Each structure stands twice: as structure tokens, then as C-alpha cells.
Amino acid sequence: MTFGYPPRKKQTRTPLSEYLPDWLEKSALDAKYSGGGIDTSALLQKSLAVYDARDNQFANIKADGTTDDSNAWAAIINGVKNAGGGTITWEGRSRILQPIPFASNIALIGRGWGRSVLAPEGNGISAIQMGGTLANPITNAVFDNFEIDGSAQISYAKGIFITFMKRAMFHHIWCHDTGASGLGCDFLVDTAFVDSIVENAGRNGTTSSPGCSGFGIGTGNYDVENVSLINCVGRGNKRYGAFFEKQATPTYNSKGVTVIGGRYEGNNRGIGDNGVKRIIVDGAHISGNTDAGYYLGMDASNGIGSDGLVTNCVITDNGTRGVHLDYTGSLSPGRYTIKGNQVQGNTSTGIKVETVTSAPNVVVSDNDVYLNKGPGVQLAGGGTFTDVEVSNNRIWSNGLVGGGSGILVGASLTRPRIVGNKISDPATTKTQGFGITINAGQTISGGIISRNDLSGNLTGAISNSGTISPGANGTVMRDNVGYNPIGWDSLSPAASPWTYTAGPTDEVINLLNGTVSNVAVTDRTGTTTNVALSAPASITLSPYDTMVVTYSAAPAVKRLRK
């Protein structure tokens, strides 16, 4: 429906649906809160009054772009609050020299970008600023269909800065040129930002200043702070397009953040997780940021995220890494999944995960990683990754500068699964050096590197300068196309008793003749079994099993590597 202009009289008690945009009509509000969304039915009941901010019984703004409307806005908000709530609308450019306060059960709904503008001005002056409390949060608030122009702000000031909110909706807001974060709100429950754009926020700060991002959400006062960004845009902001951080005082790594769709481009970093738990980022375009596209790390905050999922995103043309999971700070919880994304054209690594201590249960799977200037996937930092999984990715034509590998291992791995990846370079002019490179000083133990297609890289399949651990926790390397030798060959036994240790694949050893008195096999657990007392004999060896053959006349030996 078309958003109508309210009658110009002191107070109108017309049904709210006559004034609200389609997304907030009564039919959409009638459904009661069921535990997973936003309870706007209470707002409907409280908002049966609609007030024109330029003509009402409390105070009148001028919205002429010149007059300071701050005091009038404060009086209107206070009057509507005391009346039990309502909807406030206006048209024009409203100059703000003191932040507008806010209250529960109020909807602030404009007539569109360019028609309804809040223009804060001065040192540290946000357009809207209000502090709720843990015991008394602001509830049932709506902000819809207006513009915030922060180009006259001095120093650090936000577009909207509200703490402790429940059941809030930010819809169709265009916020731009603010001194600090554009929409920077903390401790939000059952709250959504929908179809909103923040551009050039944080212009008075630097890439290391606190905040200074498009959407800046502080967390940590509730176990569940379920805030959603849906089809939003964060573009050209000083630090992040959107970030979620654990604040200093709270103790929770809050759960419930969701980012669905949208674009996060041209910022220093696209999206940042600086301390929430179980974030879901699904279907976002994260492109053209100066540093990383998606960043997990402490980044001067008080926590680091865990148990997150980044999926179905297009992460391209960022200035360093497409995805950076940075566990180099004092916290390293691990437990993060990067799955099903397109990671392409980034200036350095496609997906980089690094730790200087240890990080468990990181999963990189089912991604297309290609045409990045550095390695496709990098496990870095010199620490240890436990139970890391890199599986079912397509990694091709990376290393455009310097011939980086498909997978570069610069950390030790305990019980890794590097399985089922296609790592190749089909280009006429190949750039991806090795399929997998294991750097010197790194140890891989107790896992499996298997069923990878490593054919067609510039230099080779696997370059190993580290240690692939045999013994009880040995790593199995088998069925890697282009690397693991398969088929039959011959062995020449040394003097009796001849000791032979299998490699990282299953093997069959055939003793064809000779005078053999005993064959004993010791597996990786140290258990020894006598398996034959004469030749001919066929011995099956698992990876890193040791076989000892005692003989008086040497047998002919054939080996089958599977």
C-alpha cells in the first residue's frame, strides 16, 4: 500500500494499519510471539495513536533543515510515552543538535529516504540515543522508512545508539556519513534489521578505532541475544560492514545472531565475529573489502566467536583473505564451520585459519576456492589444530602471485581429515604449485589424507617438508590421485631377520619362495602377531605396520600398494 500522509490535527486515532507500510500491517502483527520471532502484537495494541511531529499537542518540529528540532523531539517522545505509546511520523529535514531520546511502545516511521531525514550535528551528537537497562529494557520499538545524514557530525557519533532493547524492528533505514557506527546498538533481544543500508560510517575514526562500522552490535548481557540482519547493506564503512562483539562487562558469549543475504562491500572488513556464539551467516555477498571479507577474531574486543557457520556466501575480491579465522589472540575456542561458499579472487589467501596455540574442530568443506593470489586454504600460525577437517572442496588455479599451493599446512595437525578435495589447476598457464604443501617443522599425526584428486598442479601433488607421524597415532595417506603410488612392484629383502615397515597406505606383501621360518607383524598399537611360518605367503599390512621375516634362503618379494 502507499504510505499515506496523516491528517494535520492535534491527535488522530485512526487504525494504525492505515498509516503503516505493508510489512507492519495488522494482518502481519496479529500472530502472537511463539519463541522464534518478534512480538509486535503488543506494539499494535499500544500504537493506535498516530502523531505528526510537525503538528501535535506535545510540541512541533520545523523539519526545515535550519531550526534545531532537538527539544521538540524530546517533548514529543515524552508525550507519546506518557500517552501509552504511538506512531510518530514526519516529513522534511530535521536538524538535531542534541540526540533524540526514545522509549518503549513507539514507532518512528518516515515517508522515505530524502523525504524524512534526521540530520544530527555537532560534537558526539547521535540522531537517536537512549540507554535502557538490563532490568528495564526498551521494548516494542519500530524505526522505519527514513534517512539519517551524519555528514555534520564531529568526532565519534552514531546514527542510532540504543542499549538494551527487546522486540525492536529497524526497517528500510538509510544511514550514511556518521562519525562512528551508523546503526550501533547493544544488547538486543528479538530484534531485526531489515532492508537497511549503512554507508560511509565511522568517517571520523580509523580502521583500529572502536566501532566505526556500518552495523555495530554489542553483546553479552543475555545468554540469547537473537538479532538478525536480513537483506541489509554495509558499504564503504571505516571498519566493518557489520560486526558483533562481546562487550567488556558482560560474561556471556551470546547466542542467536543471524545474517541472511545482503551485501557487505568496500569496508575495511566485511563481516566480523568478535565474540558471539553460534552465529549463522547465510547467503551474503562479501566483496571488495580492504582487508578480510569475513573475519573471526578478538580484534581488541573481549571475546572471540565459536560454533559459527558461514555458508552459501559469495566472498570475492577482498584485499587480503576471503575468510580469516584468527586464533592468534589469548582465546582459541575453535569449533567453526566454513561450508558451501564461493571464495574467489582475493588478494591473498582464499580461506586462512591460524593459531599460535591450539584450536579444535574447525571445518572447511564443500567450498569453491579459486583464482586467489595466495594459497587456496591455509592452516597457519605454527600452533596445533585438533580434529580439523578440510573436505570436499574444489580448490583450483590459486597462487596467482608466487605459485601458492591449493592447501598450505603451516601448523601441526592432530587427527586431521583432509579428504575428498579436488585440488588442481586446469589453466593453460598454471599457477597453483603443489596440491598440498606441508611446511618444515609441522607434524601430522593420527588422521587421514585420502581420496584427494591432486592431479594437474604446476609443480606436483604433495610437497612434504614436515613429519607425517607413523606409530600408534600414524596418519593414513592413501588413494590420493597423482600422489600415492599404486599397483605391484618388487622388493629386495635385507639380511634375515628382514624388517619392513609399510607406508601410509594398505599393502599386500607376497613372499613367493625361499626358506621362511616365521613372519611376524606389529601394528601401530604395538601388538605383534605371527602370521606365517613358511613361504609362499600373502601378508596384508595396514599403514605403518612393521613386518619381520626370518629366513635361511631369501624369498622373492612382490608388493601391492592399494
- What is the DSSP code string of 229-241? EES-EEES-SSEE
Backbone region of residue 339 per phi and psi (left: phi > 0; alpha: psi in -120 to 50; beta: other values): beta
Phi (first) and psi of residue 159, to 5 degrees? -75, -60
Decide the pairing of beta strands 240-246 and 215-219.
parallel
Confidence at residue 38, expressed as pLDDT on a 0 to 100 scale: 45
C-alpha–C-alpha distance, residues 468 and 322, integer Å: 29
Backbone region of residue 46 per phi and psi (left: phi > 0; alpha: psi in -120 to 50; beta: other values): alpha
C-alpha–C-alpha distance, residues 65 and 91, integer Å: 11
Confidence at residue 208, expressed as pLDDT on a 0 to 100 scale: 86
C-alpha–C-alpha distance, residues 324 and 463, integer Å: 24
Our separate counts of H helices and E strands in the chain read 3, 54
Low-confidence ranges of the chain (pLDDT < 50): 1-19, 23-47
C-alpha–C-alpha distance, residues 226 and 166, integer Å: 10
C-alpha–C-alpha distance, residues 178 and 122, integer Å: 11
Confidence at residue 48, expressed as pLDDT on a 0 to 100 scale: 57
| Residue of 105, 218, 108 whose CA lies nearest to 171 | 108
Residue 130 CB-density burial (10 A; 0-12 exposed, 13-18 middle, 19+ buried): buried
Q: Map grid coordinates 605396520 to a residue.
A: 545
Here the contacts of 77-83 (C-beta below 8 Å, separation 24 or greater) are: 77/101, 77/102, 77/103, 77/106, 78/103, 80/49, 80/51, 80/106, 81/105, 81/106, 83/49
| Residue of 117, 119, 167 whose CA lies nearest to 145 | 117
Confidence at residue 432, expressed as pLDDT on a 0 to 100 scale: 97
| Residue of 135, 59, 64, 147 whose CA lies nearest to 108 | 147
C-alpha–C-alpha distance, residues 174 and 146, integer Å: 7
CATH of domain 487-561: 2.60.120.10
| Residue of 354, 352, 347 whose CA lies nearest to 374 | 347
C-alpha–C-alpha distance, residues 234 and 264, integer Å: 5
The DSSP bridge partners found for residue 200 are none
C-alpha–C-alpha distance, residues 312 and 528, integer Å: 49
- The amino acid present at 254, given as its one-letter code, is S
C-alpha–C-alpha distance, residues 92 and 52, integer Å: 12
Confidence at residue 14, expressed as pLDDT on a 0 to 100 scale: 37
SS3 523: coil
Structural domain boundaries in the chain:
487-561
Query: H helices within 353-407, ranges in order?
Result: none
Element (H, E) at 188: strand 183-189
Element (H, E) at 27: helix 26-29
Is the torsion defined by CA of 206, 233, 282, 183 positive or negative?
positive
Confidence at residue 147, expressed as pLDDT on a 0 to 100 scale: 98
The predicted-structure confidence for 500-537, as pLDDT tens digits, reads as follows: 999 877 899 999 999 999 999 999 888 999 999 999 99
Confidence at residue 34, expressed as pLDDT on a 0 to 100 scale: 36
C-alpha–C-alpha distance, residues 390 and 72, integer Å: 59
